[in-house]
Amino acid sequence: MINIHENKENQRLKDLLKKMYKDNNPKLENEILEEIIMKVNFLSYINSNENETNFENINFNVLTTDDNKIYLPAFTDLEELSKWGIPSNMDTITLNFDNYVEIILENENIEGLVINPFGDSYILSREWLKELKDMKKERLKVNEVRIEANSKILIDEPKHCPTMMMEEIKNCCNSLGNINKAWLLEMMTEKDKSWLLILDFEGDKNYIFSKISQAARNYLGNMYLDMLPYEDDFARNSVQNYKAFYSKNK
């Protein structure tokens, strides 16, 4: 969970939700879901005497509809949260998409998630949350790219460096302690474009790749992150003319 004081207003999502009520379309819907699932941290109320980190033991403030359906509300910022009023016995907590899915799917009484219920609202049902959870899990799988023979591939330095993602990866590398160097390139294949992260490391590859994937996931946008160990011939040849963005102890 993220400290409320570190939370920034999610203005882009608010702008997209406002736009949705004027001109909704599939492209806009996808942009909204991208923000909700991958990027945004939301605010909610909990009982002020709750200090638990286990969601099962936290008492959340919920919304009940006229037909007695219960929804867990989420707010993009303090402005939206204030529209609900501020109960004297409540504190504020900051949660992301994964947190809300965990809470809702473990509580059969909650029908779904409603974002900014007193503004330009957006509702995600339990069924839709399940699907989105699976979609996100599939997308964030550790992806060790496999290069097929005779594949047409273009490798180059990023034209626009994803600085925030690179910083998170650096922090993760420092935390793991067994990564010597890391290079980040853009890879173009016949099918798509992705980030290609090449790692010179010691230790369990699956564990390291999983940790790196988790660190980078909120900054991927519409790109995928492919990873290769430096010991791979293709990887070693790919970075010959490029400088590592991370080196251990530097």
Could you tell me the residue ranges of all domains in the chain?
A: 11-140, 154-247
Question: In which band, very low, low, confident or very high, does the pLDDT at 2 lie, cut at 50, 70 and 90?
Answer: very low
The answer to which of 107-111, 148-152, 158-162, 177-181 has the lowest mean pLDDT is 148-152
Q: What is the pLDDT of residue 7?
A: 42
Query: Residue 4 pLDDT > 50, yes or no?
Result: no
Q: What is the mean pLDDT of residues 50-63?
A: 67
Q: What is the dihedral of CA 79, 85, 88, 93, to 10 degrees?
A: -40
User: Taking the CA atoms of the chain, what radius of gyration do you get in angstroms?
Assistant: 21
The Cα–Cα gap between 32 and 14 comes to: 9
Residues composing the chain: 250
Identify the residue with better confidence: 58 or 249: 249
The Cα–Cα gap between 45 and 59 comes to: 9
Question: In which band, very low, low, confident or very high, does the pLDDT at 55 lie, cut at 50, 70 and 90?
Answer: low
Burial class (CB in 10 A: 0-12, 13-18, 19+), 7: middle
HSE of 30, CA atoms in CB hemisphere, 13 A? 6
Question: Which pTM was predicted?
Answer: 0.57
Query: 240 in the Ramachandran plot: left (φ > 0), alpha (ψ -120 to 50) or beta?
Result: alpha
Cβ atoms 181, 201 nearer than 8 A: no
Per-residue model confidence as pLDDT tens digits over 97-126 = 999 999 999 999 999 999 999 999 999 999
Q: State residue 219 phi and psi, 5-degree precision.
A: -120, 10
Question: In which band, very low, low, confident or very high, does the pLDDT at 1 lie, cut at 50, 70 and 90?
Answer: very low
Query: Residue 217 pLDDT > 50, yes or no?
Result: yes
Q: What is the pLDDT of residue 153?
A: 80
Asked: is 154-247 a CATH 1.10.3470 domain? The reply is no
Looking at the chain, the whole-number percentage of residues with pLDDT higher than 70 is 84
Q: What is the pLDDT of residue 227?
A: 92
Identify the residue with better confidence: 136 or 88: 136
Question: In which band, very low, low, confident or very high, does the pLDDT at 211 lie, cut at 50, 70 and 90?
Answer: confident
